[in-house]
Amino acid sequence: MQRLRFLLLLITALGLFEYHASSQQQETLNSIINDTTITDLNFDENLDSLLNLYYVGQALANDPEFWNNNTDSLVPVFTDSVYIERLKKIPTVIDLTYNSVVRRYIDVYTKQKRGSVGVMLGLSQYYFPLFDEVFDYYDIPNEMKYMSIIESALNPRAYSRTRAVGLWQFMYGTGRLYGLTVNSLVDERRDPIKSTHAAARFVKDLYAIYNDWILVVAAYNCGPGNVNKAIRRSGGKRNYWDIYYYLPRETRGHVPAFIAATYMMNYYKEHNLKPVPVSFPITSDTIMLTRNLHLSQVSEVLGIPLQLLRDMNPQYRTDIIPASGKPMPLRLPLEQTAKFIDFKEDIFAYKDSVFFNNEKIITSPTTMDSRGFEEPPPGNYAKLTYTVKEGDNLGFVSMWYNVRISDIRYWNNIRHNTIRSGQKLAIYVPRNNVSKYEDINSLSFREKQARIGKTVTVPAKPAQTVTSGQGYVIYTVKQGDTIWDIMKKYPGVTEAEIKNLNNLSDVSKIKPGQELKIKPKS
């Protein structure tokens, strides 16, 4: 109740700032139907980072049909009357209005972004049961879970231009208001379970204000203050389509996209869409820790891929679980939990002096101001410049300089994780440690890896493609390549074909410098 009163006071305060509506904003639903604008919902950006997740990459590497999912013969065409009847048949208390704006978003999901929808359908098999359970506890219609489609494309690492984070795209202040911890080591906005509970409480508070689920969807996106101002400017109307033109432009697309996502998730089979089988542990278990632990300790002792552990525990920003102050969860594949319990003491003791040496703990020189926005590094940090080399990625650079990937992206205005050879990166390190890092830019890859205790057994060679006289090309594996990366270079080529052509038993063990035969599709 106290939180609801705070929210109502916030809405009242925001409502004091009025501005005059233009005459064009007096349009009705008739003009909305003729609106040809499709609002950017960060869908492509969320998808870009979604495809970088370990378990998604593993799935796509084993699903050659993903790359051919846009074949015209696979895309059926339906009339408006069919869409109207199907929306009516969805059992829900939410008003699922149909018009041409909704139709265009349905086309985005079922035609333009078929491949990405297949990935989300696969991920929904993991996330939606969790959402259903939480929403049922708070007595929220389970169709509200489809907001996660338009908020984050089911990507727990989604990060918007406005600095909203996670599956439910919480801003810093709202996340803290609803009990989510956000600091240098932990960001619970990326925790699927805790952020879903916070989203459910936020949604329930919004419904107490509007008593209308569609207005809740709008207010979740742009804030209750903007929705209240839109209601006042419309003369007190409380139907979403009546206040459509009084809302921020990005929110106008949010509700139609939600309705389209609800349709798509209920009728994807009719559009010849199918889930991409995502190699993510559908069954997992949570162990509560009371001592600090590094994910690499778990990975190296139990043999679990570190990237999988990161994706199952995305809230830990530096791989450190800071559980000494209060209990913190560690999520593991179900089949690994008993093994963790059996080897618990060995895991905590493994390289503990290395992972928890105060000089080697990765900390961030970037701080946050009172609004939750990051500020430049303070004066006790010095700027170094690193020139990206062939085969580098942000993960390597972050380890070489003991900084976070998110900080490198922030310092260099990098939206995703892509860097290119020759690019100059600004890196900030403590002034008293400049001598430790200033020569990294001139070291070879082998020397840089040796600095962090890694051994390069095969020298990295530049990638090259040489055409043979036997209908295939020779591809030289470069540092950081995965079989999925190579398949993207040759659309239509499958993992099985690469394995058979090169007599490989395990494509995950390809090494830099290795030469692979590839038979491109004509």
Task: Give pLDDT, residue 184.
Answer: 86
Task: Give pLDDT, residue 476.
Answer: 86
Tell how far CA 468 is from the center of its chain: 40
Q: What's the CATH class of domain 465-518?
A: alpha beta
- Report pTM: 0.62
Q: What's the CATH class of domain 2-271?
A: mainly alpha
Q: Above 60 in pLDDT, residue 465?
A: no
How many angstroms separate the CA atoms of 41 and 260, rounded?
A: 13
Virtual CA dihedral for 252, 258, 261, 267, nearest 10 degrees?
-110
Worst-scoring range by mean pLDDT, 384-388, 403-407, 453-457?
A: 453-457
Q: Above 70 in pLDDT, residue 180?
A: yes
Q: What's the CATH class of domain 367-451?
A: alpha beta
Q: Are residues 198 and 192 in contact, defined by beta-carbon separation less than 8 angstroms?
A: no
Q: What is the mean pLDDT of residues 72-91?
A: 88
Tell how far CA 513 is from the center of its chain: 32
Domain(s) of CATH 1.10.530.10: residues in the chain:
2-271
Reported as a pLDDT band with limits 50, 70 and 90, residue 43 is low
Please state, for a pLDDT cut of 90, what percent of the chain lies above it.
Answer: 33
Task: Give pLDDT, residue 377.
Answer: 67
The predicted-structure confidence for 84-95, as pLDDT tens digits, reads as follows 999 999 999 999
Q: What is the mean pLDDT of residues 391-417?
A: 80
- Give the DSSP per-residue string, 254-302: HHHHHHHHHHHHHHGGGGT-------S-SSEEEEEESS-EEHHHHHHHH
How many angstroms separate the CA atoms of 323 and 10, rounded?
A: 34
Other C-beta atoms closer than 10 Å to the C-beta of 354 total 12
Tell how far CA 95 is from the center of its chain: 29
The predicted-structure confidence for 147-179, as pLDDT tens digits, reads as follows 999 888 888 888 887 788 999 999 999 999 999
How many angstroms separate the CA atoms of 290 and 327, rounded?
A: 5
Which residue from 384, 500, 404, 398 is spatially nearest to 448, judged by alpha carbons? 398
Q: Are residues 67 and 491 in contact, defined by beta-carbon separation less than 8 angstroms?
A: yes
Non-local (6+) Cβ contacts of 217 within 8 A are 144, 147, 254, 255, 258
Q: What is the mean pLDDT of residues 488-506?
A: 77
Q: Are residues 332 and 312 in contact, defined by beta-carbon separation less than 8 angstroms?
A: yes
More confident of the two residues 486 and 229: 229
Task: Give pLDDT, residue 365.
Answer: 61
Q: Report in angstroms the alpha-carbon separations of 490 from 456, 486, 493.
A: 27, 7, 6
Task: Give pLDDT, residue 135.
Answer: 96
More confident of the two residues 444 and 456: 444
Task: Give pLDDT, residue 27.
Answer: 43
Cα radius of gyration (the chain): 25
Reported as a pLDDT band with limits 50, 70 and 90, residue 208 is very high
How many angstroms separate the CA atoms of 38 and 269, rounded?
A: 24
Average pLDDT value for the chain: 79
Angle (CA) 433 435 438, round 5°: 105
**Cβ burial, residue 192 (10 Å; 0-12/13-18/19+):** buried
Task: Give pLDDT, residue 503.
Answer: 83
Reported as a pLDDT band with limits 50, 70 and 90, residue 12 is very low
More confident of the two residues 35 and 141: 141
Reported as a pLDDT band with limits 50, 70 and 90, residue 49 is low
Q: Above 80 in pLDDT, residue 252?
A: yes
Domain(s) of CATH 3.10.350.10: residues in the chain:
367-451, 465-518
Angle (CA) 192 196 199, round 5°: 140
More confident of the two residues 129 and 417: 129
Q: Are residues 119 and 149 in contact, defined by beta-carbon separation less than 8 angstroms?
A: no
